Homo-oligomer: A and B are copies of this chain.
Amino acid sequence: MQNKDSKGMTIKKNEDFSEWYQELIIKSGLADYSAVSGCIVYKPGSYQIWEKIIHIIDKEFKNIGIKNCYFPLFIPESLLVKESEHVEGFVPEVAWVTHSGNSKLNERLAVRPTSEAIMYDSYSKWIRSHKDLPLKLNQWNNVVRWEFKHPVPFLRGREFLWNEGHNAYSNPEELNEDKEKILNIYYNFLKDYMALASFIGKKTNKEKFAGAVATYSIELLLPNGRAIQGPDYHDDGQNFAKAYNIKFLDENSKEDYVYQSTYAISTRMLGVMFAIHSDDKGLVLPPRLSENKIVIIPILFEQSKKEVLQKSNELKKLLQEYNPILDEREDYTPGWKYNEWELKGIPLRLEIGPRDLEKNQVVLVLRHSGEKKIVNINKLEEEIPLLLDKMHNDLYENSKKFLESNIKEVKNFKEFSDAIKDKKIVKINWCDRTECEEQIKEKLEGVKSLNIDLEKNPLYGEMCANCGNEAKVICRFGRSY
């Protein structure tokens, strides 16, 4: 048992976001550091949320014909190097297995940083005819990327969990249809379960996935003004098909390479969600992803203890669909318990004492706002879902307001630079040239393109806010995690 005084949060979110975040993750019991530098332990507090994410998204995937499978963890070096851009993107971060027991292996094995290489080797054997297409396979697995930047729990680490979907089609039209569906699955999940506002767009050529024709990303904004990439989707065209020789015979017996796409959501999103919603008291969890949606705190006095505990147990049973925790401990005060469950992010607190019992009522307190509501016990089953929905909507609206108020449209480099200093995401008319992007990166250290607006384009004759050439797209830039 830790010292009671040291249990709570001590750092303020708006004073030192980075320290606050790390204190939050450890003290709320979500994760812990491990003996392996850059790798964390996902404790039940965070892992159970990841299980819910898998459950919800997996159902949506299955609805559009995506099936799960499992490919080997290891990728022989000779396979990994087949697609040259892909290799360059990943090799610097690969963890290499060189020995088994005391023997040296004939060929080094990469611990998968992503599974294109090993999967497409199989695809090239499995796919022969248009009848074998589309092939839509997904894995929920672990991947390793040996980053050397400072690791941060969930947000940046050397091993993470994700889904990696790998679809193959006989034509780009079907691929594009699924692209919309898959991006929407991710975007709506962020909105409807994580209560997070985000924006979809296309990555610039410089920032797209190694080996892809086009990358689409869903981006978010952290409380420290850093943009962070969420789920993404890659249109690989026929690039990998050519590198891994994945050909099919179409209906006219003509041979062609398949069209491919990949898509992913990772445990990084857990960190983004914890960071955006939580506060100086600790974790705030959107109720739809919270394992225990209610904590029941009986207010115990010697005289009325028996009755209050009995009613508390009845309520626990009544509300079992919310998987409530009943905190009956007698060696802690109610106030201390409030703090503990606020730290751990239980969405709704239900207090019940002898006076409440007399009036057949309870006090409900919402974690995110501190709002209190006295509710008659007969109305509980009606009131609780409304309160949980309200909480979800509040969190989403807060996140949307925060995001929108921090995106600034600018017209020239001076405004661009000022907005970046002001920790904004900037939106500019842009020429869409890698050379110009590199110039921006040089002039504004740490700034990079986030993604290109898919819906709006510059007006005829508008110019790039950086270089003055003709503007082709509207692009968002910012300091990025």
Contact = CB atoms under 8 A, between A and B. Distances in A.
Nearest to A102: B92
What is the predominant secondary structure among interface residues of chain A facing chain B?
A: mixed
A48 B69 CA distance: 8
A118 B68 contact: no
Contact of A41 (B44, B69, B95): B69
Contact of A69 (B1, B2, B42): B42
Given A74-B36, A74-B39, A159-B74, A97 B111 contact: yes
A35 B101 CA distance: 20
Interface stretch (A129-137, A309-317, A362-370): A129-137
Nearest to A48: B68
A96 B99 CA distance: 5
A408 interface: no
A481 interface: no
A101 B68 CA distance: 30
Q: Specify which of A34, A40, A91, A122 lies most central, judged by the most chain B CB atoms within 10 Å of its CB.
A: A34
Interface in A60-93: 67-76, 79, 91-93
Name the residue among A34, A35, A42, A44 with the largest chain B CB count within 10 angstroms.
Answer: A35
A76 B132 CA distance: 44
Contacts of A441: none
B97 A95 contact: yes
A181 interface: no
Interface stretch (A11-19, A139-147, A471-479): A139-147
A51 interface: yes
Contacts of A146: 100-101
B93 A101 contact: yes
A413 interface: no
The range of chain A's interface size is: 35 or more
Given A32-B122, A79-B35, A41 B72 contact: yes
Given A74-B39, A76-B36, A91 B97 contact: no
A338 interface: no
A52 to B, nearest CB: 11
Interface centre among A100, A102, A121 (most CB of B within 10 A): A100
Interface of A: 1-2, 32, 34-36, 39-44, 47-48, 50-51, 67-76, 79, 91-102, 108-109, 111, 118, 121-122, 125-126, 128-129, 131-132, 137, 141-142, 144, 146, 159, 161
Given A36-B118, A41-B70, A97-B97, 8 more contacts: A32-B126, A34-B122, A35-B79, A36-B109, A47-B69, A70-B142, A73-B144, A96-B99
